[in-house]
Structure 1
Amino acid sequence: MSHSQRYFEMLGAAYEVPSGPDRFDAFLAAAMAYFFEDEAEGLLAGDVPRYKGDDKTLDTHGQRIGALIEEASRRGSEKSERFHAVLDISARSELVTGNTAAAHLTDRDFPCHLCDLPLDPEAISEIRKSLRSGEHQPQDRIILASVGERQVQACLALIQRPKDIADRVQVSLSYIDWSDALMTRLGEAFGLTHSETEILEGYLANLSQKEIAQQRDRSLETIKGQSKAILRKTGCARMSDVVQLCASIAFLMRQLPEQETPPSAETWMTPKENLSLLPRLKGRKLAWYTAGDGEKPVLFIHGYLQGPFFTPAFRRALAQINVRLIAPSRPGFGYTSPSPSDSDFNETVVRDALALVDHLGLEKISLCVHQGGTSHGFRIARALGRRMGDMLVIGGGIPIDEKVHLSHMDRQTRFAAMATRHAPSVMKMVTSIGLPVYRRRGTRAFLEKQFSKSPADLATLSNSTLMKVQAEGLYHAVEQGAGAWVRDGAAAMADWTDDLEAVDCRQIWLQANDDSIISAQDVAACITKRTNAEFHILDGHGTNILHTAVEDITDALARLQ
């Protein structure tokens, strides 16, 4: 597939996300496919362009889609009304009235005429049959109806001619979201092949065999043959029976849209305990935290999701070694003001750190740098010059070589690395769309996705203390939106080799053996050749090394001078 085709596939998938948060994963897959010829091996497609600046068109799409998702979330509390609609229809005049849900679903003001409803012709025909019957129907009629004009939805329609209501027919409409997850479960339950499951999805969308054939670019005979297989495997005589069976299963599984992804009750707010603010130039403010109250100050440069917040056990250990961590938030993270522009982000990080050291009156200070903060830590260390003490690097990164390091990264990190380098606007789009999705799904869902390839990290989510501190780190990363994350990713992916080489202080590196962000062996290959670096790989730890290797970290902090 060409670059332009992959681009529009990605954009099309992005516009599907507002219709259901479950579609974000399909969009993310399309975004990854935009970059990689072979995702499993981390092979970058040869035709991926490299943008020096932003793609303004893509930025506009991302902002628009993000706004649509936010609006969909805002209306979440109203969803249940929109999908349980009741229409009341006069047999004599075909005049229709309905409840609030019916008005939402049909986008009509009542009363209106039956022919004005946005129902498909077959559904209108079935309703008119009941209207013409002239008497109570002992057998309710259940059909699949297409509702809507701009966005057509497949609904179950229950048509009734109540015995105690003269001259009336009632139609109840319920919308089922045939999500990818639900279709997978239906296919597995009936033993359908992947192709048969996709054909079933076409019937559930109220498409004809001819329309399904056109949609799938297959012959009508092929669709008919696979339809017979569906009937055989489900034990049904007619496809309408299969539709009703699937609808029954969907209701039993409670897969209505408002129940499938309920809005999270979680409030995403960065903690303010132990927070201080330092006024900066042009009205900016630098937010910084302290951990511990020891006499030995260490400047802590946080990573993305595991800092600058610490477990009670870590704080107790700091007290024992008489260390006080001073942890500034980078521009746009937490409560620190953003940098004036993208181009001076790295310089602003360094200037803020030096201003904080001056404000505290520190003539010399050691550094503790963590994960995504590594490149910034070396820039700061270089700028400190003779005021620089020792350095502890926890789960540190290194300058990325696309040909060497990509294949060892987990898929999220690999994607972020390449999006940041080659198409930052794609990264902006993913974060601006993903953030409202995960605010709805909740922190646990985000972290489970982030750690999906790391059993050691997934296990930490079962510990309420570790879960809490990681959630706080996530809030800190996106307190002001996704912009800082994108800028920070660009800083980590830039070539900061000169800064690494320029820092000659004593360094202690602690690397997790099971780190899914970057291979410990790749980091070792870069660092162990340095005469001023002491390098350790810690078994049994993953991305969460900051919280799980407390004893090793505090032992190293105690040795800093």
Structure 2
Amino acid sequence: MTSTRRKTDQSDVVTLSEEDRAEAIDRLYDVALDPTRYEALLDHWESAIGPLRAQVDLSAPRLLDDPQIAAHFRRATEFLDRVALGDRKGDLEAILAPFDRVATVLFDRKYKLRAANAAARQVMNLPEQACLRDLPIHEADINAVATTLSMLFEDPEKDTAVLRVRSRRADHLIVLRLQRCAAADGTVLVLAASNEVTLPPGFCDILRQAFELTATEAEILRHLVDCRSVNEIAAERDRSVDTIRVQIKSILAKTETHSQLELVRLALSVMDMTTMTTQPASAPRVVSRGYAMLVEHDYKSLVTPDGRRVDYLVLGAAQGRPVLYLPLDFGLVRWPASAESFAARRGLRVIVPLRPGYGMSDMVGRSEDYDAALIADTMLVLRAEGVTRCPVICLSGDAYYAVRLARTYPETFSGIIACAGMLPLTRREQFERMDKWHRFIIAGAKYTPHLLPFMVKAGFVLAERIGKRGFVHAVFGNSAADIATFENKEVYEAIIIGSETALSEHNCAHEAFSRQLVSGQLEDWSAEINALRGQLPVIFMNGTQDPQVPLATFEDFRREYDWIEFHLFEDAGQLLFFRHWRQVLTRLISLIED
């Protein structure tokens, strides 16, 4: 992987080589179209961006301040907005669902059609039991399609291809975009999307708006999508071939693409995305209801002085000793059933605020300070519950918010227990040590914050597509302790139900997730944490298998903050609280009773 430096008015900006930029953009639109390809983008991104991080100062680390890349990320984010997050249909229908106006079929290894959407059956006039030869492709090009299908089935290194083949209709071409996928039972299939369809209504207007094209340029791009040659376009528009080529060159510049094939692929992605709609949310969920062992709890609601709604839960003993619990940006607001029962028996009233943008808590405006709103909302909830003093349990990066609360309201907080807690990251190697999923997001927030919204949104859509279990196994796959913890039936229920505040049929907290990461927690807040020395107990309980705070980083923390009480668990990772909640709560009770 190579990099370049681009001169700006202020400084040299480290950016990608032309080759890496082109591949990153290609994979970016793959993810916008199919979020299950997220990990392929992640792997390429890390191989390209990792070396660049070594070239910048951590105190001023913004990478890729590159208008081309930023523009593509913005467009891909807009496309991703259109992906449906509602209920899915049947297995094969779900694969075809995003392509309701694009003629799309699914091939098996014998080149038989396992499924076809309505557009394909109508446009291609397919019989009920169809195969490759029933598609309206010229006989001379059938073998080329068969060869490409075979390659996609057999070569694990190749999973997508774009073909231009002749139609049976004279002087007409078809663009086939082929992509390997899998049914729920593991059967490998290849999805084939064809452009031989009626373009969506207002397609030219969509192109003009997306890429700031003129009406003429949008029309030319439509013709290119429709497989017209330059000569055909020139003849139809009564212009010279040279004029059309100049206009195509202008379109390439505006779309920041480098070839007509890349341009057509981008436009086809726009076409696909215009067919996707977000399912409307039904009535708000006001109950946290488990499906097995968890007790049902009603959400309580407050209204902030500026009119926003803030929801929160109370777990454990309704009239017990108060404990503030900060549930991480995954929205893990529920505990394992045994932990909630233990809290009730020991007289702990666990107060769990839903931060802005989670569950039914209203999001703050884009120009507002997210961290300040989170702190203010938390204090509003504590006052509503009549809390004058309490300890805090927090997870991972929420140690930052626990410290902010204790610094701002020292009279209110009596101690902090951080489970898998993260302290200020002040050295590049602390980012590089993370497992790839955590590094992709955390380092992305630190080094390329302007690109973070797409990264996070695609991750949320991926989690919805492959299910929370599949997503947790992907993200925590290198932490055997976290996977084992998650698969515990009580933990599984707590995480699945609790995280509904972040991602469910009615909730998607991707914006709030991003806003937290680019606020203050990735800055150097060591002065804030050190100011608590001697003021209240600060206890960190970490695991050796934490993908975000691996052992070497934990040892950094222990050396740099020798006044903090540290505990290390060999059999735990980032989900430490859910595995060792009994030790956490026992230490908490000792704090309260001291």
**TM-score normalised over the length of structure 2:** 0.63
Flag the structure with larger Rg: 1
Q: Residue 301 of structure 2 aligns to a residue in which SS? A: strand
Q: Residue 502 of structure 2 aligns to a residue in which SS? A: helix
* Contact map agreement 2:33 2:80 (CA 8 A) in 1: no
The structure 1 residue matched to 2:516, chosen from 468, 485, 488, is: 488
**Which residue of structure 2 lines up, in the alignment, with residue 134 of structure 1?**
none
Q: Closer, same or farther in 2 for the Cα pair 1:502/1:342, shift >3 Å? A: farther
Distance 1:102 1:299 in 2: 51
Distance 2:383 2:35 in 1: 46
Deviation at 1:45, TM superposition (A): 5.0
Q: Closer, same or farther in 2 for the Cα pair 1:271/1:25, shift >3 Å? A: farther
The structure 1 residue matched to 2:119, chosen from 77, 99, 104, is: 104
| Counterpart check, 1:553 vs 2:486 | no
Distance 1:452 1:415 in 2: 15
Distance 1:528 1:300 in 2: 27
Which moves more between the two structures, 69-78 or 425-434? 69-78
| Counterpart check, 1:466 vs 2:491 | yes
| Counterpart check, 1:309 vs 2:309 | no
Aligned-pair Cα RMSD in Å? 4.1
* Contact map agreement 2:326 2:352 (CA 8 A) in 1: yes
* Contact map agreement 1:399 1:494 (CA 8 A) in 2: yes
Distance 1:49 1:420 in 2: 10
Deviation at 1:381, TM superposition (A): 0.9
Distance 2:498 2:377 in 1: 20
Deviation at 1:71, TM superposition (A): 9.2
* Contact map agreement 2:333 2:352 (CA 8 A) in 1: yes
Q: Residue 551 of structure 1 aligns to a residue in which SS? A: helix
* Contact map agreement 1:313 1:550 (CA 8 A) in 2: no
> Residue type of the partner of 1:553?
V
**Which residue of structure 2 lines up, in the alignment, with residue 289 of structure 1?**
313
**Which residue of structure 2 lines up, in the alignment, with residue 83 of structure 1?**
105
**Which residue of structure 1 lines up, in the alignment, with residue 137 of structure 2?**
119
**Which residue of structure 2 lines up, in the alignment, with residue 412 of structure 1?**
437
Q: Closer, same or farther in 2 for the Cα pair 1:352/1:256, shift >3 Å? A: same
Q: How does 1:248-263 map to 2 (within 5 A)?
A: 254-257=187-190
* Contact map agreement 2:420 2:542 (CA 8 A) in 1: yes
**Which residue of structure 1 lines up, in the alignment, with residue 388 of structure 2?**
363
Q: Closer, same or farther in 2 for the Cα pair 1:101/1:369, shift >3 Å? A: closer
Q: Residue 307 of structure 1 aligns to a residue in which SS? A: coil
| Counterpart check, 1:497 vs 2:526 | yes
* Contact map agreement 2:104 2:119 (CA 8 A) in 1: yes
The structure 2 residue matched to 1:16, chosen from 18, 27, 30, is: 30
Deviation at 1:78, TM superposition (A): 5.0
Q: Residue 36 of structure 1 aligns to a residue in which SS? A: helix
Q: Residue 188 of structure 2 aligns to a residue in which SS? A: coil
Q: Residue 396 of structure 1 aligns to a residue in which SS? A: coil
* Contact map agreement 2:444 2:451 (CA 8 A) in 1: yes
Q: Residue 386 of structure 1 aligns to a residue in which SS? A: coil
Distance 2:36 2:143 in 1: 23
Distance 2:106 2:569 in 1: 55
Q: Residue 105 of structure 1 aligns to a residue in which SS? A: helix
**Which residue of structure 1 lines up, in the alignment, with residue 267 of structure 2?**
none
Deviation at 1:427, TM superposition (A): 1.8
Q: Residue 300 of structure 1 aligns to a residue in which SS? A: strand
**Which residue of structure 2 lines up, in the alignment, with residue 522 of structure 1?**
553
Q: Residue 586 of structure 2 aligns to a residue in which SS? A: helix
> Residue type of the partner of 1:122?
A
Deviation at 1:58, TM superposition (A): 4.3
Percent of matched pairs sharing the same residue: 17
Distance 2:285 2:42 in 1: 26
Distance 1:61 1:364 in 2: 47
Distance 2:457 2:331 in 1: 21
Q: Closer, same or farther in 2 for the Cα pair 1:279/1:177, shift >3 Å? A: farther
Q: Closer, same or farther in 2 for the Cα pair 1:531/1:452, shift >3 Å? A: closer
Q: Residue 410 of structure 2 aligns to a residue in which SS? A: helix
Q: Closer, same or farther in 2 for the Cα pair 1:109/1:531, shift >3 Å? A: closer
Q: Closer, same or farther in 2 for the Cα pair 1:539/1:107, shift >3 Å? A: same
Q: Residue 510 of structure 1 aligns to a residue in which SS? A: strand
Q: Residue 305 of structure 1 aligns to a residue in which SS? A: coil
Q: Residue 61 of structure 1 aligns to a residue in which SS? A: helix
**Which residue of structure 2 lines up, in the alignment, with residue 65 of structure 1?**
79
Distance 2:547 2:369 in 1: 30
Q: Residue 108 of structure 1 aligns to a residue in which SS? A: helix
Deviation at 1:544, TM superposition (A): 1.3
Deviation at 1:464, TM superposition (A): 2.6
* Contact map agreement 2:445 2:452 (CA 8 A) in 1: yes
Distance 2:570 2:590 in 1: 21
**Which residue of structure 2 lines up, in the alignment, with residue 280 of structure 1?**
304
Q: Closer, same or farther in 2 for the Cα pair 1:119/1:484, shift >3 Å? A: same
> Residue type of the partner of 1:537?
L
> Residue type of the partner of 1:26?
A
Per-residue CA deviations over 1:2-35 (Å, capped at 9, x if unaligned) read 3243333222111123554443221222332342
> Residue type of the partner of 1:497?
S
**Which residue of structure 1 lines up, in the alignment, with residue 143 of structure 2?**
144
> Residue type of the partner of 1:499?
E
Distance 2:75 2:590 in 1: 51
Q: Residue 514 of structure 1 aligns to a residue in which SS? A: coil
Q: Residue 328 of structure 2 aligns to a residue in which SS? A: coil
Which moves more between the two structures, 441-450 or 14-23? 14-23
Distance 2:562 2:96 in 1: 63
* Contact map agreement 1:409 1:519 (CA 8 A) in 2: yes
Distance 2:308 2:150 in 1: 46
Distance 1:521 1:317 in 2: 34
> Residue type of the partner of 1:511?
N
Deviation at 1:378, TM superposition (A): 0.5
**Structure 2 unaligned spans of 5+:** 4-14, 108-114, 127-134, 166-179, 193-281, 289-296
The structure 1 residue matched to 2:44, chosen from 22, 30, 48, is: 30
Per-residue CA deviations over 1:413-442 (Å, capped at 9, x if unaligned) read 222222112222322112222322331211
**Which residue of structure 1 lines up, in the alignment, with residue 366 of structure 2?**
341
| Counterpart check, 1:423 vs 2:448 | yes
Deviation at 1:531, TM superposition (A): 6.7
